[in-house]
Homo-oligomer: A and B are copies of this chain.
């Protein structure tokens, strides 16, 4: 099974810098999401549009972030997003965020998403679109 990874690049925004002159720690959640969306554009089939069409969404279930070094004004973040295959009806990603200027690892994280059907019920079976995606890319 090959490793599936995406890399994207985000300019830190003024509005994300807090009064300690560092990127606010909550902004990393958006960066992970930017990473997932970029991943979804490179490996299509599990993006928001696919979910919407199937009526099956994948809300966040578990999110873990470790902060090692700050991102500051004018920094550019390089986001590495790794798909982690786990059996069952779940979607797992690992993230690494680097500061572009000196390649420092600023943050690392993990997320687990579960699937809910169009009635909002948790699904225990793997949705069809996700199965199709797994057969194509794994």
Contacts and interface: CB of A to CB of B under 8 A. Distances in A.
A38 to B, nearest CB: 8
Q: Chain A: interface residue count, which band?
A: 20 to 34
Chain A interface main SS type: mixed
A59 to B, nearest CB: 7
A67 B66 CA distance: 18
13 contacts: A11-B34, A13-B30, A15-B24, A15-B26, A18-B19, A20-B59, A22-B59, A25-B59, A25-B60, A26-B26, A59-B67, A62-B64, A63-B63
Interface of A: 11, 13-15, 17-22, 24-26, 29-30, 33-34, 37, 47-49, 57, 59-67, 70, 73-74
